[in-house]
Structure 1
Amino acid sequence: MNTDSHSMTRKEREQALRREAIMEAARSIFERDGYFNTTMAQIAETAEFGVGTIYHFFPRKHVLFAEIIERLIEHFISEAKLAVSTHDTWQQQLASFVKYYLSWIENNSGFHRMIYEMFYSPIPEIKPHIYDLFKESNREIYQIVHGIFEQAHDSDAILDPEFSSLMILGMMHAIADHGYLGILQRSPKDYIPRILGVIGGYYREKQ
């Protein structure tokens, strides 16, 4: 809940809690059944509200779907920045980022179903908005990683920031995609030491 609860009236707090309950229920169903197989009646039943209450907060299903995706992306970005900011050296920052990213993939596999469905199925009401949001979030993630490798480059690590950023993000995107498709041989988090080992090996080779 993003609103400061201390400045809210009791009625506003109750409304905010209802909204959160609806979003949690909707997310669980969207992740399990997909956008097109989910109805507002299902969401109402899971959230234990009347259908009219759902429509009071979210007049259309695509509005609810888009807000869930938007919130997940915003949370992912803010936590990724936090994971990096708590460390000083580029090695620590990179390790923290990779661990956070792959742990998030493992713990939020349903998110990728929602993203895949949105990009590969026609949901014209929200696709342009979410596409722009997704593009911006990828730009922010790239900047986070690029900043880490710029720090490495400045400390004579001889790592090209652009290439290293693309390499790391490419590997993690592939893990996310293959994890969603169910063709990974291990869990996403099991790849953490392998990815860090690739960068470590490249660094030692350049030295």
Structure 2
Amino acid sequence: MTHDEELQRKYNYPLSLVKQLITEFNPDVICGEVHPLSWELYLNERDPGGILGETQNEYPRLIFPLCEEKGIEFVPVNWFEEDVFEEGPFDRYDSEVKRRLENELHRWNEKQLLLWNKANIPFNSFEYDAVTKEMYAWLHTINPDVQNIEWNARHFIMTARVKQSIRKHKGKRILCIHGADHNYWYYESLMREKDVQVIYPLR
């Protein structure tokens, strides 16, 4: 996914396409980038925003209702701890260095966007993933403390939850939905699993 609605319009990735892809894949289970407590909040109070207002719009607008309509089990796999996610990757630097690093990150983002249409689904290609992996490796050199928590540890937990779901639902079709920057990490992690067929991209 791209969570940004403007980018969804610009790069031909509307929620109607997401719905079509979900329907085509016909999953038994969807593992989504939603915090477990935010999912609980939605179930109990129908609050769509999440515990920090972080739940992306595609979930309450499309994915949650579709799961209810089609009887798809939804598994929330996101992870964060508010108190340790406060520091940004460039916050420890002075304003001049911070501005330079922000410009460099912008250039990385532009490199990513140039590859939006390398596969049949926007932002779902090995070319996009290769640049994304390089970008996060660069970010790790800038501030490894932040990246180890906000990116690496987060992914270990997210993919661990996906693997738990795989073990629980053997032989079932499981669809992982998350921001496109996570694709490379999911793919590399899940390809190491035995007796799991990874279909990526979906088209």
Higher relative contact order (CA 8 A, sep 6+): 2
**Is the radius of gyration larger for structure 1 or structure 2?**
1
Larger strand fraction of residues: 2
TM-score, with structure 1 as normaliser: 0.29
TM-score, with structure 2 as normaliser: 0.29
